[in-house]
Chains A and B, each alone.
Chain A
Amino acid sequence: MTFGPARQMFRRVAIQAIPTVLGIIALNFLLLNLMPGDAADAIAGMSGSATAETMETLRRTLGLDQSLATRFMTYVANIAVLNLGTSSNYGVPVVNVIMERLPNTLVLMLSAFFIAVTLGILLGWIMAVFANKWPDRLLTAIVLLLYSAPGFWVGLMAIVLFSARLGWLPSGGSETIGVGMTGLALLRDRVLHLILPALALATFFVAIYARLTRAAMLDVLRQDFMRAATAKGLHPLVLQFRHALRNALIPVTTVAGLHLANLLSGAVVVETVFNWPGLGRLTMDSLVARDFNVLLGILLLSCIVVIVTNVIIDWIVMWLDPRIEF
């Protein structure tokens, strides 16, 4: 599929991500050392108290008295083998704590992403087709509202409407506890619990994708080759789908990379609103419990996920539009 120069570009994009990863690790290390109290303090705190000599011995055992450079090397080496330390709140390795909750957050984020992209592109498409007529104006107003409302507030209002008043959807959690459903019933239960949080998480970016799609499609719809294609006799919908929409995908894909970082942020609040057992709730719990290892582990993991996804998205963008150079 890819020849020499293209393959070099793909590789270059991947290689450019490495300094960013190193930068994130360095930043994390910096933040770790800025946290009030270190591992020795945490251990001493758990055992009640400690004399100065005990603290010194403890620090020497934990390697905390070595130079910053040595500690950084150890830190990087640990990360390479996925050793992110131990959670002071749960007493188990940080990786375990995170991995337990990661799937839940991933499900939420991917659903929100999917909803935002499809709904956003659909709305943008309709807005572009009816440009400046009443459907466009109405949708522009709605989209602007979605862009201006805090996602968690939309979620709360949705709970009031759909859960408290209408009783259609559950108001929190990822499943109904204690009932022990299986198979299709379990799937249905999970999906019902997923709808409101995913919608709340998606609202902000539906607006962004809609506006991007509208602008990109308007750009394309005005060009001459569209008129030529219509003269050929192609059905307008086919035209829009095959030509205009593909052009819209490029800015959408570029923004999708930024969306991911935003999704993680939004997940923190939305998971709190809906009591969703994911990384967002874990972040809040760890903050309250002063569990810095978990906090920094989540930060590191999120950043690396975002970087990797951005590399993949850059590849997709390069594939979609061969004119783009990196």
Chain B
Amino acid sequence: MTDVVVDSSAAPGAAPVPGAARIMSARLRSLLTWLRDPFLCLAMMLLIGVVAIAFAAGLIYPTDPLDMVAPALLWPGQDWDYPLGTDALGRDLAAGVVHGARVSLLVGFFAALIGLVIGTTIGALAGYFGGVIDNVLVRLTELFQTIPAILLVIVILAIGDPSIFLIVLSIGLASWPMIARLARSQFMTLRDADFVMAARGLGYGTPRIIVREILPNALPTLVVATSVLVANGILAEAGLSFLNLGDPNRVSWGSLIGSGRTMLRSEWYLTALPGLAIVLTVLSINVIGDRLTDILNPRSETR
């Protein structure tokens, strides 16, 4: 529900106020101040750029990035056909970075999505019903929070075949507790709200109240928290591919860092450049997430 704020000078009988900002929702106004923040604009452009490159990877570099195409160990700038240089086997680093963006972003995004779905379900049930259900689900959340994430992922990967799907699933399984706690506190607060009482009075069933009344109000906070999940998912995927636990047929930023590690002393650009890509992407996601949290949090010092 948007709050409609009318300009105070538009009293009945007064002259119409010039300018576009006569009647504007509070959220829209905050959006405009938001867009004046240079860091946020930069972060959004960066993220959009990375996503666009990932989408267009097949167009920019149509051949498999694992193909050996050039003399080995070219430095960036030595040959402008290979702007980021080549690795020990003569593979184009720029192609690797561009294709790797796909894997890293996909894994980060879908792992966060799984974390969001599982976390919201568990948190919603725990927060809304309370009592024994809450107790049991909170214990479950604590259980998963005490397990070190990478160990859980490694054990799951040891059981099954390492594939992108399993990696996404295991990172999602390791990251849902945070969302669950947030969802639980949101639902606990919102279940006592007036509109919920009204909905119950109208005879709405519990599933409908949870999904169509409370959830839309809790969702903004949860979605913003998911940005942290995406950022951490990308970092986790990088760590896993670095450890050679990823899909061996796919290039990812982490795997590029891993394969460049043998040449760390001399051709250090092989580890530096993919890592820089990770830093820039995760940084932009974090900046966006931060600003969104500031907007949603009424207590923060908004700029």
A295 within 8 A of B: yes
What 1/0 flags go to B124-144 for Cβ under 8 Å of A?
000000000000000110110
Most chain B CB atoms below 10 A, which of A19, A34, A148: A148
Q: Are B243 and A268 in contact (CB under 8 A)?
A: yes
B262 nearest CB across to chain A (Å): 11
The one of B231, B239, B265, B286 in contact with A269, judged by C-beta atoms closer than 8 angstroms, is B239
A171 nearest CB across to chain B (Å): 8
Q: Are B239 and A295 in contact (CB under 8 A)?
A: no
Binds B, one of A92-100, A111-119, A154-162: A154-162
Within the assembled complex, what's the spacing in Å between the Cα atoms of A262 and B147? 9
B238 within 8 A of A: yes
B300 nearest CB across to chain A (Å): 9
Within the assembled complex, what's the spacing in Å between the Cα atoms of A266 and B105? 21
Within the assembled complex, what's the spacing in Å between the Cα atoms of A97 and B143? 26
Which interface class (under 10, 10 to 19, 20 to 34, 35 or more) fits A? Answer: 35 or more
A14 within 8 A of B: no
A63 within 8 A of B: no
A147 within 8 A of B: yes
SS of B interface (majority): helix
Within the assembled complex, what's the spacing in Å between the Cα atoms of A191 and B297? 44
Known: A153-B257, A160-B268, A164-B265. A36 touches B159 (CB 8 A): yes
Known: A156-B275, A295-B158. A20 touches B143 (CB 8 A): yes
A299 within 8 A of B: yes
B146 within 8 A of A: yes
Using CB atoms, name the residue of chain B closest to A161: B268
Residues of A within 8 A of B265 (CB): 160, 164
Within the assembled complex, what's the spacing in Å between the Cα atoms of A132 and B271? 35
A303 within 8 A of B: yes
B272 within 8 A of A: yes
A276 within 8 A of B: no
Q: Are B268 and A145 in contact (CB under 8 A)?
A: no
A292 within 8 A of B: yes
Known: A19-B139, A153-B278, A156-B275. A147 touches B286 (CB 8 A): yes
Within the assembled complex, what's the spacing in Å between the Cα atoms of A144 and B43? 12
B277 nearest CB across to chain A (Å): 10
Residues of B within 8 A of A295 (CB): 154-155, 158
Within the assembled complex, what's the spacing in Å between the Cα atoms of A214 and B146? 26
The one of A36, A149, A261, A262 in contact with B275, judged by C-beta atoms closer than 8 angstroms, is A149
A287 within 8 A of B: yes
Q: A149-B278, A164-B268 are in contact. List 15 more A-B contacts (CB 8 A).
A: A24-B143, A24-B147, A149-B275, A149-B279, A150-B242, A153-B278, A261-B145, A261-B148, A265-B149, A287-B154, A287-B157, A287-B245, A290-B158, A302-B147, A303-B147
User: Can you list 19 contacts pairing A with B, beta carbon distance less than 8 Å?
Assistant: A24-B147, A27-B143, A144-B283, A147-B286, A150-B238, A152-B239, A153-B271, A156-B264, A265-B148, A265-B149, A265-B151, A268-B154, A269-B242, A269-B243, A287-B158, A302-B148, A303-B148, A306-B148, A307-B146
**Which residues of A are at the interface with B, using a C-beta cutoff of 8 A?**
19-20, 23-24, 27, 31, 34-36, 132, 144-145, 147-150, 152-153, 156-157, 159-160, 164, 258, 261-262, 264-266, 268-269, 272-273, 283-284, 287, 290, 292, 295-296, 298-299, 302-303, 306-307, 310
* 6 nearest A-B residue pairs (beta carbon): A153-B275, A265-B150, A264-B148, A148-B283, A148-B282, A265-B148
